[in-house]
Amino acid sequence: MSLDYTLELPNDLQEIDAAVSAVIDRGQQVGFDYDRLRLNLRVGLTEALANAMLYGNCRDPRKTVRLVAELTPQRIIVQVTDQGSGFDPSKVSDPTLPVNRLRSGGRGIFLIRKLMDRVEFNDRGNSITMVLFNHAQAGHEAAS
């Protein structure tokens, strides 16, 4: 079984919880592991949507964020795209370095990279694609 899901969200942080819950519900429908949905996917997708709204779209209420998800029992692929000018993800500071620990930037991207099995950005830097595999072992093998 496979489900595709697309949602155009207004640039409003209050919309995030319902959008994330909708993807999690669809993940359950296809038989994806509930713990990975409610922990890894919930946090990773919430961070990606918040970053898109706050930083990508610069809180502009006239802009939207597009969420596209492909869900199967084996994996979930989620893409979040904002209408901003983008950024260079390689320039995001590592929040685990002592010099950066008191800075707020970079924590969301760090969490996403730790919780998801694969993370990729488009060339422009305004779209993130995250992949989560159903079994942790399969995800580690695929990410290697």
Domain with residue 14: its CATH number is 3.30.565.10
For residue 136, the model assigns a pLDDT of 42
pLDDT digits (tens, 9 = 90+) for 21-68: 999 999 999 999 999 999 999 999 999 999 999 999 999 999 999 999
pTM of the model: 0.89
Smallest CA-to-CA distance from 75 within 125, 123, 130 is with 130
pLDDT digits (tens, 9 = 90+) for 70-122: 999 999 999 999 999 999 998 888 877 787 777 777 788 999 999 999 999 99
For 45, the enclosing helix (H) or strand (E) is helix 42-51
Smallest CA-to-CA distance from 14 within 38, 50, 48 is with 50
Band of residue 19 on the pLDDT scale cut at 50, 70, 90: very high
For residue 143, the model assigns a pLDDT of 46
Smallest CA-to-CA distance from 10 within 53, 55, 41 is with 53
In the block, residue with structure tokens 């038989």? 31
Cα 128 from Cα 78, distance rounded (Å):
8
Instruction: Count structural domains, the chain.
Output: 1
Cα 39 from Cα 111, distance rounded (Å):
12
For 18, the domain range is: 3-143
